[in-house]
Chains A and B, each alone.
Chain A
Amino acid sequence: MRHDATKMTEGRRVTRRRGAWPVFALLVLGIVVGGPDFVAQSYAIGSVLGGIILLIALGSWVMALLDLVGGLVWPALRHTVIAAGLVRTSYWLAFLARSSWEREHEGGQVVAAALALLHRSHDAALASWLEGKIQARARSGLGGIVATGLLAASRGDRDGARDILLGVDGFDPDFAPKAARRAANDWLVADAAARGDWITVMRRGVQPGQATAYTRFLARAAARIRGEALAGEPNPTDFGLWISWLLAPGRKAMRPLLDQARAAPRVLHQRKPPPPAPPPATVPLIDPSVHADDPVAHAQALHATWLALRPKTAGQPATELEQRLSATRMQELCRAWEAAWAPAERRMRQRAAALTAQTRAEEALAAIRRVVARELAELARAAKLPLDSFEAEVPTAALAAEELRAELLGGVEAGSEELRARTAADRRLPPAEESRAWNQFRRRYEEAVLLGGMALRYLMFPQVHRDVCGYAVWLWNDRKEYGLSGPMFQWLLAEAEAVGDLEAIELQRKNVGAKR
Chain B
Amino acid sequence: MSQKPDDFQALADNPFYVLGLRPDCSRVDVEREGQKLLGMLGLKLKSAATYMSPLGPRPRTEDKVRAAMAALRDHEKRLAHEFWASLPPPAAPPKPPPAPETKGPGPAPFTEAFAALGWRRS
Q: Are the C-beta atoms of B122 and A154 separated by less than 8 Å?
A: yes
Complex formed: what's the CA distance from A311 to B3 in Å?
Answer: 12
Task: Assess whether A285 is in contact with B55, with CB atoms less than 8 Å apart.
Answer: yes
Q: Is the beta-carbon distance between B116 and A194 smaller than 8 angstroms?
A: no
Nearest CB in chain B: distance from A160 CB, A: 10
- Chain B residues lying within 8 Å of A187, measured Cβ to Cβ, are 119
| Alpha-carbon distance A225/B54, docked complex (angstroms) | 41
> In the complex, A312→B12 CA distance in Å?
13
Q: Classify the interface of chain B: helix, strand, loop or mixed.
A: loop
From A194, A286, A352, give the contact of B90 (CB < 8 A). A286
The smallest C-beta distance from A118 to any residue of chain B, in angstroms, reads: 4
Chain B, 89-122, contact with A by CB distance < 8 Å: what is the 0/1 string? 0100110111110101111111111111111111
Interface flags, B37-58, vs A, CB<8A=1, else 0: 0000000000000000011100
Binding-face segment, A52-60, A89-97, A299-307: A299-307
Known: A285-B94, A300-B11, A368-B80. A249 touches B116 (CB 8 A): yes
A411 touches B1 (CB 8 A): yes
Cα–Cα distance between A344 and B79 once the two chains are bound (Å): 11
**Contact indicator A351/B86 (Cβ below 8 Å):** no
Residues of chain A within 8 A (CB-CB) of B12 are: 307
Interface contact B76-A357, CB-CB below 8 Å: yes
CA distance A187 to B105 in the complex (A): 23
Instruction: Let me know if B96 and A283 touch, CB within 8 A.
Output: yes
CB-nearest residue of chain A to B99? A280
Counting contact residues on chain B (CB < 8 A from A), the size range is 35 or more
In this complex, the member of A121, A249, A250, A375 whose beta carbon has the largest number of chain B beta carbons within 10 angstroms is A250
A190 within 8 A of B: yes
Shortest Cβ distance from A369 into chain B, in angstroms?
11
Q: Does A502 contact B (CB under 8 A)?
A: no
**A283 in contact with B97 given A300-B54, A308-B56 (CB within 8 Å):** yes
Task: Decide if B55 touches A304 in the complex (CB within 8 Å).
Answer: yes
Q: Are the CB atoms of A190 and B116 closer together than 8 Å?
A: yes
Chain B, range 1-53, C-beta contacts under 8 Å to A: 1, 3-5, 8, 10-12
Binary flags per residue of A372-409, CB closer than 8 Å to B gives 1, else 0: 00010110010000000000000000000000000100
Describe A's contact surface by its main secondary structure. helix
Check B107 against A310 for contact (C-beta < 8 Å). no
- Name the distance in Å between B67's Cβ and chain A's nearest Cβ: 18
User: Within the assembled complex, what's the spacing in Å between the Cα atoms of A119 and B115?
Assistant: 9
Q: Is A218's CB under 8 angstroms from B76's CB? A: no
Q: Known contacts A191-B113, A198-B107: does B86 contact A296 (CB below 8 Å)? A: yes
Residues of A contacting B87 in the complex (Cβ-Cβ under 8 angstroms): 286, 291, 297, 300-301, 304
Report yes or no: A378 in contact with B1, Cβ–Cβ below 8 A: yes
Give Cα A281–Cα B96 distance, bound, in whole angstroms: 9
Cβ of B78 < 8 Å from any Cβ of A?
A: yes
Contact of A304 with B11 in the complex, beta carbons under 8 Å: yes
Residues of chain A with a CB closer than 8 A to B78's CB: 355, 357
Distance in angstroms between the alpha carbons of A260 and B8 in the assembled complex: 44
* Shortest CB distance A289–B (Å): 13
B62 contact set on A, CB distance < 8 A? none
Q: Distance in Å from the Cβ of A316 to the closest Cβ of chain B?
A: 8
Instruction: Determine how close the nearest CB of chain A comes to the CB of B71; give it in whole angstroms.
Output: 13
- Binary contact track A273-302/B, C-beta < 8 Å → 1, others 0: 000111011110110000100101100110
Kindly supply a per-residue 1/0 record for chain A positions 352-379, scoring 1 wherever the CB is within 8 Å of any chain B CB and 0 otherwise.
1001111101001101100100010110
Report if A310-B54 is in contact (Cβ < 8 Å); known contacts: A118-B119, A119-B119, A355-B78: no
Apart from A312-B5, A351-B82, what are 6 other A-B pairs with CB-CB below 8 Å?
A186-B117, A190-B116, A249-B117, A260-B107, A277-B104, A375-B8
Q: List 24 A-B contacts (CB under 8 A).
A: A118-B122, A119-B118, A122-B120, A191-B122, A196-B108, A214-B116, A222-B106, A248-B116, A250-B115, A253-B112, A277-B104, A280-B98, A280-B99, A282-B96, A294-B86, A297-B87, A300-B11, A301-B87, A303-B11, A312-B5, A313-B5, A358-B76, A359-B79, A375-B8
Nearest 3 interchain pairs by C-beta: A250-B116, A196-B109, A304-B54
